[in-house]
Structure 1
Amino acid sequence: MMMGYKLKTTALAFVAFFCATIAIGQSTRADRILEDFYHQPDKILVAAHRAAHQNFAENSIAALEESIRLEVDIVELDVRMTNDSVLVILHDRTVDRTTNGEGKLSEMTFGEARSLRLLHQDQPTEQVIPTLDEVLPIAKDKILIDIDFKANSKEALVKTVELIKKYGMEHQIIFFLYDYKLAPVLHSICPELIIMPRAYKKKDVNNILDWDYIKIIHVDESFYKERLMKKIVDSNVRVWINALGKYDNMEKEEQNSGYSKLFSKKYINVIQTDRPQELIDYLNVTLN
């Protein structure tokens, strides 16, 4: 009888191990990024600002797909709402800079906005303004999305969270907040979201660290202090800083000049850039 029990226990243990092995084998790329995000603070994550738009229109489906192809960790997308309450991906309040049209998005119907063509290097493309409903399933399981929420209404916030839940992507979304005091409100609405508040000064950082559900803080370089960044990282929270402008421009002028200067600052472990391919190449060379 005891031998039979041991055999049964061994068999169950083998089945459990086999199932666990299969589960590990079926992990998605997004799962692996999340593993790094939460458990590998030395792993520097790359975020593509308005998606990988060097060769494609910014905030376009083509730029999102390029971000995935490049194996960027995080894609930053700007969410706004049309006059008839459709959530779309667009950075500016108006369509003037990024499309072949003119006018405020908030005064346009989705049909009117959709009739426009996105620009790349001031030339019209075949790309149109995408909806949030379109980009989420493309990114699902492949890349994290940093939502730069520019819709600024409760209706838009509720609709955004509903869409995220529709695709079961709560864990895959980094939700950027310009006002960190809204973090508890958003957390109560959807606790699974990764909330990224922006800190404008040291006091903001100290206040944000009081919330144990915050795992990443957007830090302005203007108040970077090594001791403060160490405090953030020691709290098991990531430090997000932008390479946009200054460091990206240096890199454009002279290879490795911008990123080597940026990484002279310690404890930064998420970098947002307009040049994701160059940053990935730099990290692959310097970290290997």
Structure 2
Amino acid sequence: MRSPFSILILMLTGLGTYTPNPVPAAKHKFIVIAHRGDHVIYPENSLEAYREAIKNEADYIEIDLRTTKDSQLVSMHDGTVNRMANGKGTVSSFTLDELKQLKLKGKDSTQTYRIPTFAEILKLAKNKINIYLDFKAADPTAAYKMIKAYGMEKQVLVYINSQAQFTGWLKEAPKMPLMLSLPDSVKSVSGMQKFLDAYQPDLLDGDYSQYTPALLAYAASMKLPVWPDIQSAGEGPADWDKALQKGLTGLQTDHPAALVKYLKDKGLR
């Protein structure tokens, strides 16, 4: 387990090794992460999209956490509601009650979808699916308090977007698995080693195309999971073939149901 002091020493010296915090237990060897839920049918980051991911046997739902004007935690990818809801303005400019009056835009105009709270998502996911928490704009103390309230400490990992978030989570929950993206500048094992020594993430994200078998082998030697993004407009079996050939064992996808079926057909699920 890391401490803020050990992080500082390693950043200064560039030396040392560490033992990553374990990630949540999963039923499958190849991890499928439903990007913003399974949103092929339902609006992204909606409870319906998360339920669909559970039904389609994903291992994680990826949620985007933001804070309302009255300090409530909700899931919305963008900083504003403009793209996804029938309103205008930043998430932080609305109270929770005001956000609850908005409707999410969906393919089925006869259905009503709402912006979910973090509490609603935790309740839905408990003992059913793990949570990949993309920590957009929230306070680690408030988020972890809610995670503990629902008994979800062993079902959550946190994707870090800033140094302040990293420091905050280390202080609040030192055993929480924290994910960082591998920088585009890292092209070699030595470069990866320097990055890992400096920041000590518990698992890695990034774009699947940037990983080589050598980088993945080094990460495996460190017992460091690598579950990068593969989602794109044209994502499909050709991309998944490339990911398997590289040696990847987890992906964040826009098509979790199709990826799960692909893996089953390959005998990998």
Q: Give RMSD over aligned pairs.
A: 2.5
Secondary structure of 2:71's counterpart equals coil
**Percent of aligned positions with the same letter in both sequences?**
31
| Superimposed CA distance per residue, residues 32-63 of structure 1 (whole angstroms, 9 cap, x where no aligned partner) | x94448xx8xx210000001111111111111
Corresponding residue for residue 210 of structure 1: 197
Secondary structure of 2:115's counterpart equals coil
Q: Which amino acid aligns with 1:143?
A: I
Select the residue among 230, 254, 260 that pairs with 1:274: 254
Q: Does the 8 A contact of 1:208 with 1:214 survive in 2?
A: no
| Superimposed CA distance per residue, residues 108-160 of structure 1 (whole angstroms, 9 cap, x where no aligned partner) | 111111101111138474111110011101111111100111115xxx22211
- Measured in 1, the distance between the counterparts of 2:143 and 2:162 equals 18
Q: Which amino acid aligns with 1:235?
A: M
Select the residue among 39, 47, 59 that pairs with 1:61: 47
- Measured in 2, the distance between the counterparts of 1:115 and 1:204 equals 49
Pairing 1:259–2:253 present: no
Query: Which deviates the most, 117-126 or 63-72?
Result: 117-126
Q: Measured at CA, do residues 257 and 183 of structure 1 come closer, stay the same or move farther in structure 2, by a change above 3 Å?
A: same
Q: Does the 8 A contact of 1:180 with 1:198 survive in 2?
A: no
Q: Which amino acid aligns with 1:109?
A: T
Residues 1-288 of structure 1 mapped to structure 2, 5 A cutoff = 34-36=24-26, 43-121=29-107, 123=109, 125-151=111-137, 156-179=139-162, 183=166, 185-200=168-183, 201-202=185-186, 205-207=192-194, 209-210=196-197, 214-221=201-208, 223-245=210-232, 249-251=234-236, 256-266=237-247, 268-287=248-267
Indicate the structure (1 or 2) with the bigger Cα radius of gyration.
Answer: 1
Determine which structure has greater relative contact order: mean sequence separation of CA pairs < 8 Å that are 6+ residues apart, divided by chain length. Answer: 2
Aligned structure 1 segments of 4 or more residues deviating by more than 6 angstroms: none
Q: Does the 8 A contact of 2:208 with 2:230 survive in 1?
A: no
Q: Does the 8 A contact of 2:208 with 2:243 survive in 1?
A: no
Q: Does the 8 A contact of 2:59 with 2:130 survive in 1?
A: yes
- Give the number of the structure whose residues are more often helix, by fraction: 1
Secondary structure of 2:103's counterpart equals coil
Q: Does the 8 A contact of 2:123 with 2:150 survive in 1?
A: yes
Q: Measured at CA, do residues 48 and 204 of structure 1 come closer, stay the same or move farther in structure 2, by a change above 3 Å?
A: farther
Q: Measured at CA, do residues 275 and 167 of structure 1 come closer, stay the same or move farther in structure 2, by a change above 3 Å?
A: same
Q: Does the 8 A contact of 1:170 with 1:192 survive in 2?
A: no
Secondary structure of 2:80's counterpart equals coil
| Superimposed CA distance per residue, residues 44-101 of structure 1 (whole angstroms, 9 cap, x where no aligned partner) | 1000000111111111111111111111101000000111111101111111111111
| Superimposed CA distance per residue, residues 256-279 of structure 1 (whole angstroms, 9 cap, x where no aligned partner) | 22322332222x111000100110
Task: Report how many aligned residue pairs link the two structures.
Answer: 242
Tell me the TM-score normalized by structure 2.
Answer: 0.81
| Superimposed CA distance per residue, residues 204-256 of structure 1 (whole angstroms, 9 cap, x where no aligned partner) | 742453389743111334642321121001111111111111xx6142xxxx2
- Measured in 2, the distance between the counterparts of 1:172 and 1:91 equals 21
- Measured in 1, the distance between the counterparts of 2:111 and 2:85 equals 9
Q: Measured at CA, do residues 116 and 284 of structure 1 come closer, stay the same or move farther in structure 2, by a change above 3 Å?
A: same
Tell me the TM-score normalized by structure 1.
Answer: 0.76
Q: Does the 8 A contact of 1:171 with 1:194 survive in 2?
A: no
